[in-house]
Structure 1
Amino acid sequence: MESHIALRADNIVKYFYEPEKFQVLKGISFEVKKGEFLALTGKSGSGKSTLLYVLSTMDTDYEGQLHLNGEALTGRTQNQLAAFRNEHIGFVFQFHYLLTDFTVLDNVMLPALKLNKKSRAEIEEKAYQNLKLLGLDGQALKLASRLSGGQQQRVAIARALINDPAVIMGDEPTGNLDSKNTQNVFEIFRELAHERGQTIIAVTHDEDFARNSDRIIDMSDGLIV
């Protein structure tokens, strides 16, 4: 696989079986370059969130082939995929999923502690760097519950970056935010892509957010339009 490609999907087909058999993804193929900020758009029911779930390796019940960072992921066990995800994919969801009884710093460190490839001191240093990048180093020792919604979402981005993932995947990452914080998160993503070469794939309903990304993949009825 070419070294400049972060992710490649080849002919991804997906069925739902409840209440009856229904084809939700109809042979989706595309590539995402390293350092590209891609927006996945489409009406509810278009298949965009289902596609993100397949791309994220959380859903393995599909036909076709998925490559991420040059590695074929189709056919791996759940345990292999969980380990791969923790190391190579960062997640930012609509809801931040922070542990509210933990400090901001502890939340950011968690995926790296789980990966267990660096010392705790190195991980803490990296977590502080990420929080500084996102303008939150002054909040590091606060409980996550004490932060505003916009700050919590920035902590979630810092956490997503901690293992230097190949790809950050966002599922409506600005869905719970007001326009000012939406703009904030968008600018962070753009800076990460353009200045740090971070690949970002985000499902969004926000037209401004999508329009300002590098590329839009618009879906309708399980196909790329």
Structure 2
Amino acid sequence: MEFALKAENIIKYFYEPVEFQALKGLSLEVKKGEFVSLIGKSGSGKSTLLYVLSTMDTDYEGNLEINGETLTGKKQNELARFRNEHIGFVFQFHYLLPEFSVLHNVMLPALKLGRYQRSEIEDRAYEKLKLLGIAEHAPKKASRLSGGQQQRVAIARALINEPAVIMGDEPTGNLDSANTQIVFDIFRELTSKYHQTIIAVTHDDEFARNSDRIIELKDGLII
């Protein structure tokens, strides 16, 4: 069995305003092609865990491995390169550049990675937009799209470098029920048809129930 991600005995403290242990020795494994929801009440540690898993937060104890590579202890510039190449991010807010075209927004992580010619990156970006049913919006400025369309552009951008894992932080948190369903259906198809691994923090019980597996946190522990 192939694992996309392994985390062993993750311990995380915050020291401001007082010392507080946010994660208390968590271990988890996520298989390739698995769609996992992280749930828990506010303050349970789920977002803190996602930031550790995504390599954005390196101030922790334990061991993190993604795509067979140990990331604990790597330098920030190495982690930034690894994130761009192997992790796609979908946040509650889409973080698109409003004055850039939809196509250019999707191309940005691949341009930064610099592995392919610009023309090939453009072709790949079109393919991702087509996959998400919004290719006809490619030349439009991102600011001209609806919230649901913008979130689909953000997913296309997350996919552009063929990441090992997509990490979502409340990816449907700003969407109405119809667009939440669209985003969920996209995630479902990405895992079932394309074997994309997805780990998403969510408050949406229905979203979580329909994913492959729920990991629930309480007081910094998996319950």
Q: TM-score range by the shorter chain?
A: over 0.9
**Residue 112 (1) aligns with residue 110 (2):** yes
Deviations 1:101-121 (A, max 9, x none): 000000000000000000001
**2:127 match: secondary structure:** helix
**Which position in structure 2 is the counterpart of 1:184?**
182
**Which position in structure 2 is the counterpart of 1:208?**
206
**What is the alpha-carbon distance in structure 2 between the residues aligned to residue 103 and residue 185 of structure 1?**
21
Amino acid of the structure 2 residue aligned with 1:195: K
**What is the alpha-carbon distance in structure 1 between the residues aligned to residue 145 and residue 113 of structure 2?**
26
> Unaligned stretches of 5+ in structure 2?
none
User: Which one of 143, 148, 151 corresponds to residue 149 of structure 2?
Assistant: 151
**Which position in structure 2 is the counterpart of 1:51?**
49
1:29-178 paired onto structure 2 within 5 Å: 29-178=27-176
**1:205 match: secondary structure:** coil
**2:11 match: secondary structure:** strand
Pairs aligned (count): 223
**Which position in structure 1 is the counterpart of 2:11?**
13
**Residue 217 (1) aligns with residue 197 (2):** no
Amino acid of the structure 2 residue aligned with 1:80: E
Deviations 1:76-123 (A, max 9, x none): 011000000000000000000000000000000000000000000110
Deviating 4+ runs (over 6 angstroms) = none
Shift of 1:19: 1.1
**1:186 match: secondary structure:** helix
Shift of 1:182: 0.2
Amino acid of the structure 2 residue aligned with 1:85: R
Aligned-pair Cα RMSD in Å: 0.5
**What is the alpha-carbon distance in structure 1 between the residues aligned to residue 19 and residue 145 of structure 2?**
44
**What is the alpha-carbon distance in structure 2 between the residues aligned to residue 150 and residue 99 of structure 1?**
16
> Unaligned stretches of 5+ in structure 1?
none
**2:214 match: secondary structure:** strand
Deviations 1:133-174 (A, max 9, x none): 000100000000000000000000000000000000000000
**What is the alpha-carbon distance in structure 1 between the residues aligned to residue 91 and residue 204 of structure 2?**
14
User: Which one of 6, 21, 24 corresponds to residue 22 of structure 2?
Assistant: 24
Q: TM-score, normalised by structure 1?
A: 0.99
Q: TM-score, normalised by structure 2?
A: 1.00
